[in-house]
Every structure is written in structure tokens, then in C-alpha cells.
Amino acid sequence: MRPLRPFRSLLLAGLPLLSLPQAIAQDQGANDEYITAHGQSTGLNARPAIGGRLGLSLQHNPASIAVIDQKIISQRGYAQAEQAADFAPGVTSGGSPGNPAQLMMRGFSGNQILILRDGFYFGPTTMVNRPLNAFNLEAVEVLKGPSSVLYGQGAVGGTVDMRTRSPDPDHAHLDTLVSYGSFNTWNAGIGGSIPLSPTLAIRSDFSRTSSDGYVKGADPHSNDWTTTLLWHPSQNFSARLGMDYLTDELSTYYGAPLVPGSAVQEEARGLLHSSSGLVVSKTSLWRNYNVANPRASSVNATPTLHLNWIVNDWLTLHDKAYFSYAKRRWDNAETYSYIGSEGAVDASNAPIEPGRIGRDRFYVYQNQHQIGDTIDARFDSTFFGLKNRLVIGGDAYYLRFIRNRGFPDASYADSVSLTDPEGGALGNFAGEYPCRKSPTTLIDAGLFLEDTLSLTRTLRLVGGFRYDWLSLDRQNYNQNGQFNTATSFKGHYNPANFRIGPVYDILPNVSLYGVYTTAEDPPGSNLFLANKGQFSRLSHSRQGEIGVKASALSGRLVTTLSLFDIRRTRVLVQTGQDSVSTAGSQHSRGVEGQADWRLDRHWSLSGNVAYTDAHYGTFYPDAATDASGNQVPNVPAVTANLWAVWSSALDLPVDLGAGMRYVSARKGDFANTLSLKDYALVNVFAGWHIRRGFTLYGRIDNLANKHFVQWADTSYPSEVLIGAPRSFSISMQAGF
């Protein structure tokens, strides 16, 4: 058994936050539904949608939930939802354009983290999700651990829901943002809510982000338009019709190549350690090894409809339906391999000189159509004299996903200089066209129930169950258009999952909880990459979690602490751009703590810390590598965040704030021969409230200009993704 000293240390660190019986006893009658001066916390009475259909408060939900609302997003200058999610305990993001919405939590990443948009699932996370502009969002909600009972497949490490802003039926609002910063980075947004009649309101938000990128030539930009129409003819019925339209071009920076230390004049220090002697050349920092005309673009359109009907005091009906269309295009040189000896040739059969970087070409074109509906009924009743709330319902969706891809027959399409990559054109290489076509059809129908039973005034039992009928038709076609029977397959699966756990109120504002959750669902990697024979049974996971949630000092202090243990078997892991492997099993355990403290009307603190121990079971990612027992790549043992805000500093209309983010060392490959060093980033901001509703912000991110590796994508083992250097921005926000 591995030592548990980090567990003990973090528990001891968290005990002072929980040793509050006297303060809490004084505040038993206090209402903890509060919002601090700058949205630092909404208290334990908040009822985030991600917590399930029972409408449980944070205090009485047996799960770890974090909410980063629009006030926090605006104050800290998060331009995209993934940046906001990074503030939740134990969460890190990837930033790779090949997997553009990749998050890690509780030792799992990629498609083992479910990403939702207003509660809707749109397919495998890393393949279909895109970075979202934070201006259009009301909040980013994070649920930790398996949530297959609530949302179905692909939710072992956790679930993140991007919640868009809703209309205000009573008041008109206008919100604007304009920001400019380093690397010619622009962020702009305008949106507002208007009551059209006593029963009808509309909200529309448009935002645009654009940048030259901290690596020249990456040039990301996006346009996001969301509109929601709310019809509320009575207190008992509402209909919400929404539309989201997103177009974007991702950053096309795929990382810096790993090269032998003996081959460079000066290495970039403080980034990594390799037992194979690999380093990142200092000349590679902020260099783009992609072609001069890359592409990573998409168009996404999603209309949605929510209906809510309170039939009577004990029955509420809810239905939500959606349609999604998406078109995505990648055309890039994505893999950069150092050529260490003679004999390598490019696609034109020209020799590649040792010391150069050999590049591939890879294109992927995706078209996706999806339609789905969820209906549920909520019953409030008594059960043998005990208060009970039961939700029962079902959902179904049809997903058609067509993936066209191609790459040259040669190992290297061309090569560029290590110190001065020349860019070059995409080209057209032998073997690249015609494309390899892979249409996939996924049909799912599920039945679910959730229940909370109040056994006593202070003890309740929360449970849930879900059963699915899942049909997968995975087709592959050769380049000549012939159907490939060797890799194509059909599968029918029936996952059944449950969760159950008690919540006990030690005091009115202090609750203990425990929960046991299962997650039987498609394997952990991208299901749309799996071929015949690569898996025959669904993955199975189970999690045990215990925790405590407390509010004190009239609601000015809110703290949570949780311990978890997750075991997952029959895991499928992506080991290359177009390949997967069965990992066998993975075991993750850890502890997470969070605290939000409003000291007085001027000072507030918000912070969290998480420890995670994640290892594989039996795992052979390829014939030459035995990764059994190894640490899972990109999983830091410790992550920590801390923000301090001084509001109305010196009684002036000025706010000052500083934040620190720490990420400990991680492994960068399956063999654990590559270690990514730890890093700490410091961000600062100053806000001047010019007049009511108008605030001018200045920010500096990565104040010390720390060089660090953000992510090591195992699909691109010859390179690592370098994080952003120091940057500044100035922004004007207005709301009235």
C-alpha cells in the first residue's frame, strides 16, 4: 500500500476550518443563502442544476460540487469556460487543439470527464466539445466523481455543465465587455435581457475573442451567439426556447518538440525531466512548428426547448428537447519528431538531415447530427409518514457522427529546422486522399429515478438508479470506398448504475455525507475511435466518498472537505491519434478541500487544495511498454488555488486582488519516463469602479513569467504543450 502522508497532511490542514462548533451554534438561526461582495460564494443553500433533478441544496447533496458564477468569471477575467473550471478543486485543463475541451479531475481526463451545455450531452468530450466564451455563461458548475446515474455515459472523473444566461422576466439588463491585452488579444461581448410582456422575456448575448496567440501563427478566435426566449404565462408553467450558434478557430499550437539534451546548445530549464535525456530547446519556446496555413475550425448550432409544469403541490413535470448540428475541420502538421540519425526520408523520398524536425500531416473532417429528449416527473409525498421526493423519467437520443480523415503513407511528410521552423504549406501527399471514412451511429434510451427520503429531521437518504439500452454501429471504409469488415462492428449494451448515500446534519449548518456510486458505461477513451475487437464489454467503475460541508459566521465562511476512492476496470485509453488500447484498470483516491471566507466588508479569501493518487492496473499501451502500476499521465498529486480580494481599498472605489495557482509534478507519458515539473502562477488585478455599473480592470497573469508545461498529450508523445507566459490586459465592463 502506498503511503498516505498527503492524506494526513491535508486532513490536518482542513481541521481548523471544521472546528467551528461554537461559532456555528451562535449562527444556527442565520440564513446562509448569501452572496459575498464579489460572488465569492453563494452559500450551501444554493441549488445548482448539475446536482440532479431533486433540487437538493449544496449542503444536502451527497456529492462534491463547485460553482464558478458570472461574478467570479468577470472579476478574474476568465475568457473561456475551461479557465473558470480550473479554479474548482483538483481540476486542470489540457489546452491541446487536438482535444480542445480536455479537463482532468480525480485522476481521469478526456472522455472520462463529461461536459454538458445547459444539461445536454453531445457526445465524446474531446471529439465534439469546443472551448466556450465565458461572457455568455451564467456559471460553470462542476460535479466531482461518477455521475452516470444522473447523466449517462462517460462521467467517471466528473461532470462540467456550462450554464448560459437566462432572461429576467421582471427587469431589463444590459451587459457589455471590451478587453485588450498581450499578443493582440481582444475580447468583446454585448448582451441583455428585455421583458417583452408580463409573461414573455428574451435574452441575447454575443461575444467574440481573437488573438495572435502567445505562439506566433496560432491565431485563435471565436464568435458565440446565444439567445433565449422565456414564456411564463403563470407561476405553474414556463417554456424556455434557446439557440446557441458558435463558430471558432482553435489555437493551432501543438507544442514544442522533445529533443536529446546533447543536441541543443541550451535547454529550457525548469520544465521537465526525462530518464531518456530528452529536453526542450530554449530556442523552441514560443515557436510554432505547424504549417503556415493550418486549420482547426468548427460551426456549431444547437436549438433547445425546456418545458416546466407544476401540476399541483405534489407533482411537477419537466421536458427538455434539443437538436444539434456541428461541422468541424482540422488540417495540420501535428506531430513533431526529432531526427537523430541518418536514413529518414520525407514523403517525396528526400533524405532528412539529422537535427531537423520531421512533421506529419493529419486532417479530420467531422459532421454531426444529434436529436434527443428527456422527460421526468417529480413527486413530493410522504412514505410511512416520512417526507419523500421521487423523480422518475426517461431520455433518448440519436447521434449520427461521420468522420473523414487522412494522412500520408510516409512516416514524415516533410521536415523543418529545430531553431527556425519555416512553416510551409499543407501540401497534398501520396496516400492522403481519398479520405478514410468512418460513420458512427449511437442510439441510446434510458430510464432513471432519483429519490430523497427524510428519515428524521436531521437525516436523509439520497439514491438514484439508471438503466440504458445503448446501440452502437461503428463503420469503417477503406480509401477505395470498400466497407472494412475487419474493423467495423455493431454492439448492444445495457449499463445499469446506481448511487446511494446518507446526509446527516450534525448542526443546522454542518452536514456529513457518504455516498457509493457505480458507473457502467462505454470505455474511458473516445468511443468513436474504437474498432472491432478492442472492447467487448462496458467499463465498470465504483466510487466511495465521504465528506463534510459547513457554514459559519453568519454565512461568511463556507467550507467543504471530501475523501474519495474510485476503481475503474476495463478502461480504454487513447494511445495515438487514431488508436486505443485496453488499460485494464485504474485506481484513484484522494482528498479535496474548499473554503470561502468573507472576513469583513473589505477582505475576502477563497481557496482550495486537492491531493490525488492515480495509478493504472495491468496496462500495455503498446508491445514495447509495460505501464502496469504506473502513474496516470497529466495527473498532479497536489493542486491548489488561492484568491484574496481587497474591496473598496482604503475606502476608495477600487478593488485589488491576487491569486495563486499551484500544480505539482506530473508524469508525461505512459511509461513514466517523462516527468513534468511543478509550477506556481500568480495573477493580479485592479478594478476601478468609475461609476455605478462601470468598472475598469487591469490584469497581469503569470506575473513572474513562469515557464511551465501545461499538458503532455499522450497522442503526441514527441512534444509537450508549453503554457502561456506573462500577459496583461485592460478591460471595461458595464452592466445596468
661-718 confidence digits (pLDDT tens): 999 999 999 999 999 999 999 999 999 999 999 999 999 999 999 999 999 988 889 9
pLDDT bucket at 522, cuts 50 / 70 / 90: low
DSSP conformational letter for 423: -
Q: What is the pLDDT of residue 577?
A: 56
What angle (nearest 5°) sits at the alpha carbon of residue 82, between those of residues 330 and 97? 20
| Cell of residue 403, nine digits | 468522420
**Angstrom distance (rounded) from CA 653 to CA 656:** 10
Pick from 576, 568, 500, 581: nearest CA to 538: 568
What is the C-alpha radius of gyration for the chain, rounded to an integer number of angstroms? 25
How many degrees, rounded to 5, is the angle at CA 58 between CA 53 and CA 62?
75
For 267, 277, 664, 725, the CA distances from 271, given in Å and listed in that order, are 9, 13, 12, 13
Amino acid at 588: S
Cβ atoms 90, 545 nearer than 8 A: no
pLDDT confidence band for 499 (50 / 70 / 90): very high
CA distance 23 to 30: 11
d(CA 1, CA 648): 51
Over residues 332-347, the mean pLDDT reads: 95
Average pLDDT, the chain: 89
Is 60 exceeded by the pLDDT of residue 280? Answer: yes
Residue with the bigger pLDDT between 734 and 580: it is: 734
Strands of the sheet with 666-667, listed across from one edge: 272-274, 674-676, 666-667
C-alpha cell belonging to residue 393: 423519467
Q: Are 369 and 339 in contact (CB under 8 A)?
A: no
Q: Is 517 exposed, middle or buried, given 0-12, 13-18 or 19+ CB atoms closer than 10 A?
A: buried
Res. 15: pLDDT tops 60:
no
Task: Return the SS3 of 123.
Answer: coil
Could you tell me if 578 and 589 are in contact, meaning their C-beta atoms sit under 8 angstroms apart? no
For 399-449, the pLDDT digits (tens) are: 999 999 888 889 999 999 999 998 999 988 888 888 999 999 999 999 999
Neighbours of 354 (CB within 10 A): 13
- The residue ranking higher by pLDDT, 522 or 45, is 45
pLDDT tens for each residue of 355-404: 999 999 999 999 999 999 999 999 999 988 899 999 999 999 999 999 99
- pTM (2 decimals)? 0.90
Check whether 333 has a pLDDT greater than 70. Answer: yes
CB-facing half-sphere around the CA of 506: CA atoms within 13 A:
16
pLDDT of residue 16 exceeding 70: no
The DSSP-derived string for 6-55 is HHHHHHHHHHHHH--HHHHHHTTT-------TTSS---TT---GGG-TT-
Residue 731 has pLDDT above 90, yes or no: yes
Q: CA 731 to CA 736: how far, in whole Å?
A: 17
Q: What is the per-residue pLDDT across 184-213, written as a single tens digit (0 to 9) for each?
A: 999 999 999 999 999 999 999 999 999 999
Beta bridge partners of 574: 580
Alpha-carbon separation of residue 225 from 175, 205, 570, 632 (angstroms): 14, 6, 40, 37
